[in-house]
Amino acid sequence: MRRFVLVVLGVVFAFSAPRAAGPRPTAVLVELFTSEGCSSCPPADTLLQNLLDSPPIAGVEIIALGQHVDYWDALGWRDRFSSAALTSRQQAYGRAFASDSIYTPQMVVDGQSECVGSDAAAVRRAIAKAESSPHAAVSMTIEAAGADRFAVSVTAAELPSLSRGDRADIVIAVVENGLRSQVHAGENSGRLLTHAAVVRTMTPIGDATPARAAARTEITIAPAWQREHVKVVAFVQERVSRRVLGAAAMALPGARP
């Protein structure tokens, strides 16, 4: 586990999430802060993929965000998926958890629990705790708006009460699965790394209140991204507490399974 000092610093096709015949599963957002430069991180990437493939608790849907931070980039290997914005997101969690350091690999579950990202037992406990909390019913529609553009509409029903004095954002992330990197330097030199749910973009698109929790935006898919491996993740998150109130994920229209 690696720790770093926290620095406070037009044909349109419409698709919507299918409705299940039985009870709706509880969507739990699992975020992994990772880096290709960190030798402790590959087991956590594997665990994140395993959580997606086989959720550890019945009735739970895992929504994953693999977030590659950039503070490893000057230590021997530049992670091509790294982002300063994702480092800033991890720093926000550090403040919420009253921690004086950030580290990789770190998993954060529903914005409320954190643990070492390769600790499967701790992650399972955090997911079980999150599953027992109220969650909004988040739904999306995705419409093709051009060759590489999609309009995304998000609504959240049954929004849990907001923490006193807090506000909540509706956030959209575009993630890509099945990505691999051959690492040629740094702690993972010589290894072929496989990543799950790599965050390509993440953007707040509107406010969420009990009276109105809906927003619409447009996303652009880069030509190099494999569309059949791309998903759109939507979630509602409190700004100060970082509590995630609900989440959903969908594939792009027309993407092969």
The string of pLDDT tens digits covering residues 53-105 is 999 999 999 999 999 999 999 999 999 999 999 999 999 999 999 998 999 99
Give me the phi and psi of 55, to 5 degrees please.
Answer: -50, 135
Average pLDDT over residues 22-39: 94
Percentage with pLDDT > 90 across the chain: 86
- How high does pLDDT run on average in the chain? 92
- Binning pLDDT at 50, 70 and 90, where does residue 5 land? very low
| CB burial readout 190-224, b (16+ within 10 A) else e | eeebebbbbbbebeebbebeeeebebebebebeee
CB 93 within 8 A of CB 14: no
Q: Give the predicted TM-score (pTM) of the model.
A: 0.90
Calculate helix-pair angle for 42-53, 120-131, nearest 10 degrees.
40
**Cα 85 vs. chain centroid, distance in angstroms?**
13
